[in-house]
Amino acid sequence: MAGIISPSPTALYFSSNVGTRRLKVGSLAGKNGIRRRNLRIAAEVRFVNAEEAKQLIAAEGYSVVDVRDKTQFERAHIKSCRHIPLFIFNEDNDLGTIIKRTVHNNFSGLFFGLPFTKMNPEFLKAVRNEFSPDSKLLVVCQEGLRSAAAASKLEEAGYENIACVTSGLQSVKPGTFESVGSTELQNAGKAGLITVQGKISAVLGTVLVCALLFITFFPDQAEKLLPPS
Protein backbone atom coordinates (compact mmCIF):
# COMPACT_ATOMS: atom_id res chain seq x y z
CA MET A 1 0.00 0.00 0.00
CA ALA A 2 1.36 3.40 -0.92
CA GLY A 3 1.06 6.70 0.88
CA ILE A 4 2.37 10.21 0.49
CA ILE A 5 5.08 11.07 3.01
CA SER A 6 6.00 14.72 2.41
CA PRO A 7 5.77 17.22 -0.44
CA SER A 8 8.48 19.60 -1.59
CA PRO A 9 8.70 22.21 -4.35
CA THR A 10 10.54 19.79 -6.64
CA ALA A 11 9.63 16.33 -5.37
CA LEU A 12 6.75 14.39 -3.91
CA TYR A 13 7.77 11.50 -1.65
CA PHE A 14 5.69 8.38 -1.24
CA SER A 15 6.16 4.94 0.31
CA SER A 16 5.27 1.56 -1.11
CA ASN A 17 6.09 -2.08 -0.63
CA VAL A 18 9.31 -1.54 -2.60
CA GLY A 19 10.60 1.23 -0.35
CA THR A 20 10.62 5.01 -0.38
CA ARG A 21 10.49 6.73 -3.76
CA ARG A 22 10.03 10.28 -4.90
CA LEU A 23 8.24 11.84 -7.84
CA LYS A 24 10.71 14.43 -9.14
CA VAL A 25 9.48 17.51 -10.96
CA GLY A 26 11.75 18.88 -13.66
CA SER A 27 11.44 21.14 -16.66
CA LEU A 28 12.41 20.85 -20.28
CA ALA A 29 12.83 23.57 -22.88
CA GLY A 30 10.17 23.43 -25.56
CA LYS A 31 9.48 25.34 -28.73
CA ASN A 32 9.50 29.14 -28.62
CA GLY A 33 11.39 29.02 -25.31
CA ILE A 34 8.35 27.72 -23.42
CA ARG A 35 9.37 25.27 -20.70
CA ARG A 36 7.25 22.29 -19.82
CA ARG A 37 7.35 20.19 -16.70
CA ASN A 38 8.14 16.52 -16.61
CA LEU A 39 7.83 13.94 -13.85
CA ARG A 40 10.23 11.13 -12.99
CA ILE A 41 9.96 8.49 -10.27
CA ALA A 42 13.27 8.12 -8.47
CA ALA A 43 14.13 5.68 -5.70
CA GLU A 44 15.74 6.77 -2.46
CA VAL A 45 19.18 5.37 -1.61
CA ARG A 46 18.91 2.63 1.01
CA PHE A 47 21.31 2.85 3.96
CA VAL A 48 21.89 -0.53 5.60
CA ASN A 49 24.17 -2.14 8.16
CA ALA A 50 26.65 -4.88 7.32
CA GLU A 51 24.28 -7.78 8.03
CA GLU A 52 21.52 -6.21 5.94
CA ALA A 53 24.04 -5.60 3.16
CA LYS A 54 25.01 -9.26 3.24
CA GLN A 55 21.35 -10.18 2.77
CA LEU A 56 21.00 -7.79 -0.16
CA ILE A 57 23.85 -9.61 -1.90
CA ALA A 58 22.70 -13.14 -1.05
CA ALA A 59 18.92 -12.83 -1.32
CA GLU A 60 18.29 -9.88 -3.64
CA GLY A 61 21.19 -10.16 -6.05
CA TYR A 62 22.89 -6.83 -5.37
CA SER A 63 26.31 -6.32 -6.96
CA VAL A 64 29.02 -4.67 -4.85
CA VAL A 65 30.69 -1.53 -6.20
CA ASP A 66 33.75 -0.46 -4.20
CA VAL A 67 34.43 3.26 -4.68
CA ARG A 68 37.54 3.54 -2.48
CA ASP A 69 40.94 4.54 -3.79
CA LYS A 70 43.34 1.94 -5.13
CA THR A 71 45.47 1.67 -1.96
CA GLN A 72 42.57 0.86 0.37
CA PHE A 73 41.04 -1.50 -2.18
CA GLU A 74 44.28 -3.47 -2.48
CA ARG A 75 44.63 -3.82 1.30
CA ALA A 76 41.25 -5.54 1.55
CA HIS A 77 38.05 -5.76 -0.46
CA ILE A 78 34.91 -7.86 -0.71
CA LYS A 79 35.44 -10.81 -3.01
CA SER A 80 33.85 -10.50 -6.46
CA CYS A 81 33.18 -6.76 -6.07
CA ARG A 82 33.78 -4.25 -8.86
CA HIS A 83 36.33 -1.53 -8.14
CA ILE A 84 35.26 1.83 -9.59
CA PRO A 85 36.94 4.58 -7.53
CA LEU A 86 35.13 7.86 -6.93
CA PHE A 87 38.53 9.53 -6.44
CA ILE A 88 41.76 8.78 -8.30
CA PHE A 89 45.40 9.71 -7.66
CA ASN A 90 46.04 13.34 -8.55
CA GLU A 91 49.24 13.39 -10.58
CA ASP A 92 48.67 16.83 -12.16
CA ASN A 93 51.84 18.90 -12.37
CA ASP A 94 50.60 22.48 -12.28
CA LEU A 95 52.22 24.62 -9.57
CA GLY A 96 49.14 24.80 -7.34
CA THR A 97 48.66 21.03 -7.38
CA ILE A 98 52.35 20.39 -6.69
CA ILE A 99 52.23 22.63 -3.61
CA LYS A 100 49.03 21.02 -2.34
CA ARG A 101 50.41 17.53 -2.97
CA THR A 102 53.65 18.32 -1.11
CA VAL A 103 51.76 19.65 1.92
CA HIS A 104 49.39 16.67 1.85
CA ASN A 105 52.16 14.07 1.56
CA ASN A 106 54.03 15.56 4.51
CA PHE A 107 51.01 15.46 6.79
CA SER A 108 47.97 13.37 5.89
CA GLY A 109 50.00 11.13 3.62
CA LEU A 110 52.80 10.63 6.14
CA PHE A 111 50.74 10.13 9.29
CA PHE A 112 47.55 8.56 7.94
CA GLY A 113 48.69 7.03 4.67
CA LEU A 114 46.07 8.93 2.67
CA PRO A 115 46.87 9.36 -1.03
CA PHE A 116 46.50 12.74 -2.74
CA THR A 117 43.42 12.34 -4.94
CA LYS A 118 40.93 14.15 -7.14
CA MET A 119 37.42 13.38 -8.32
CA ASN A 120 37.34 10.63 -10.95
CA PRO A 121 35.89 12.30 -14.09
CA GLU A 122 35.16 8.87 -15.60
CA PHE A 123 33.22 7.51 -12.61
CA LEU A 124 29.72 7.54 -14.10
CA LYS A 125 30.97 6.37 -17.47
CA ALA A 126 32.76 3.44 -15.83
CA VAL A 127 29.64 2.44 -13.91
CA ARG A 128 27.48 2.67 -17.04
CA ASN A 129 29.96 0.42 -18.87
CA GLU A 130 29.50 -2.25 -16.19
CA PHE A 131 25.88 -1.88 -15.03
CA SER A 132 22.55 -0.92 -16.55
CA PRO A 133 20.31 1.64 -14.76
CA ASP A 134 18.04 -1.12 -13.44
CA SER A 135 20.94 -2.95 -11.75
CA LYS A 136 20.91 -3.44 -8.00
CA LEU A 137 24.09 -1.88 -6.62
CA LEU A 138 25.54 -1.97 -3.11
CA VAL A 139 28.04 0.91 -2.98
CA VAL A 140 30.78 0.65 -0.34
CA CYS A 141 33.74 2.71 0.89
CA GLN A 142 35.76 2.78 4.11
CA GLU A 143 33.91 5.38 6.20
CA GLY A 144 30.58 5.72 4.38
CA LEU A 145 31.10 9.25 3.01
CA ARG A 146 32.39 8.45 -0.46
CA SER A 147 29.79 5.72 -0.96
CA ALA A 148 27.01 8.17 -0.03
CA ALA A 149 28.39 10.72 -2.51
CA ALA A 150 28.74 8.07 -5.21
CA ALA A 151 25.22 6.79 -4.55
CA SER A 152 23.86 10.31 -4.92
CA LYS A 153 25.60 10.67 -8.29
CA LEU A 154 24.23 7.33 -9.46
CA GLU A 155 20.72 8.17 -8.31
CA GLU A 156 20.84 11.46 -10.21
CA ALA A 157 22.08 9.52 -13.26
CA GLY A 158 18.97 7.33 -13.19
CA TYR A 159 20.00 4.31 -11.13
CA GLU A 160 17.05 3.34 -8.94
CA ASN A 161 18.28 0.39 -6.86
CA ILE A 162 21.16 1.76 -4.81
CA ALA A 163 22.19 0.81 -1.27
CA CYS A 164 25.09 1.90 0.96
CA VAL A 165 26.64 0.46 4.10
CA THR A 166 26.19 2.97 6.92
CA SER A 167 29.58 3.99 8.37
CA GLY A 168 31.34 2.01 5.63
CA LEU A 169 33.56 -1.04 5.77
CA GLN A 170 35.25 0.18 8.95
CA SER A 171 32.09 -0.94 10.79
CA VAL A 172 32.11 -4.45 9.34
CA LYS A 173 32.91 -7.29 11.73
CA PRO A 174 35.53 -9.85 10.62
CA GLY A 175 33.98 -12.70 8.68
CA THR A 176 30.83 -10.84 7.63
CA PHE A 177 31.94 -10.85 3.99
CA GLU A 178 34.38 -13.08 2.17
CA SER A 179 37.27 -10.74 1.53
CA VAL A 180 40.55 -10.59 -0.36
CA GLY A 181 43.69 -8.77 0.77
CA SER A 182 46.40 -8.55 3.40
CA THR A 183 44.19 -7.29 6.23
CA GLU A 184 40.60 -7.24 7.45
CA LEU A 185 38.07 -4.99 5.72
CA GLN A 186 37.65 -2.77 8.79
CA ASN A 187 41.41 -2.12 8.89
CA ALA A 188 41.92 -1.30 5.22
CA GLY A 189 41.83 2.44 5.94
CA LYS A 190 44.67 2.30 8.44
CA ALA A 191 48.09 3.25 7.12
CA GLY A 192 51.00 5.62 7.67
CA LEU A 193 52.79 6.36 10.92
CA ILE A 194 49.58 6.12 12.91
CA THR A 195 49.58 2.36 12.38
CA VAL A 196 52.98 1.94 14.02
CA GLN A 197 52.35 4.40 16.84
CA GLY A 198 50.66 1.76 18.94
CA LYS A 199 53.45 -0.73 18.30
CA ILE A 200 56.11 1.84 19.20
CA SER A 201 54.23 2.71 22.39
CA ALA A 202 53.99 -0.97 23.30
CA VAL A 203 57.73 -1.51 22.74
CA LEU A 204 58.68 1.58 24.75
CA GLY A 205 56.29 0.56 27.52
CA THR A 206 57.83 -2.92 27.66
CA VAL A 207 61.35 -1.45 27.82
CA LEU A 208 60.40 0.90 30.66
CA VAL A 209 58.69 -1.87 32.65
CA CYS A 210 61.73 -4.13 32.23
CA ALA A 211 64.02 -1.31 33.30
CA LEU A 212 61.90 -0.66 36.39
CA LEU A 213 61.91 -4.34 37.33
CA PHE A 214 65.68 -4.54 36.80
CA ILE A 215 66.27 -1.52 39.07
CA THR A 216 63.89 -2.92 41.69
CA PHE A 217 65.27 -6.45 41.89
CA PHE A 218 68.92 -5.81 40.98
CA PRO A 219 69.71 -2.39 42.50
CA ASP A 220 73.46 -3.03 42.77
CA GLN A 221 73.85 -3.99 39.13
CA ALA A 222 71.61 -1.12 38.11
CA GLU A 223 73.77 1.34 40.04
CA LYS A 224 76.86 0.13 38.22
CA LEU A 225 75.16 0.39 34.81
CA LEU A 226 73.42 3.68 35.60
CA PRO A 227 75.70 5.65 37.93
CA PRO A 228 74.12 8.72 39.48
CA SER A 229 75.09 11.97 37.76
- Residues annotated as catalytic (active site), given as ranges: 141
Which residue, 193, 172, 195, 192, is CA-closest to 66? 172
Q: Which residues pair with 13 in a beta bridge?
A: 22
d(CA 157, CA 83): 19
| First and final C-alpha spacing in the chain | 85
- Classified as helix, coil or strand, 177 is coil
- Class of residue 209 by CB neighbours under 10 A (exposed 0-12, middle 13-18, buried 19+): exposed
Residues 90/103, Cβ–Cβ less than 8 Å: no
Rounded alpha-carbon distances, angstroms, from residue 28 to 33, 36, 43, 200: 10, 5, 21, 62
d(CA 155, CA 140): 15
DSSP state of 45: P
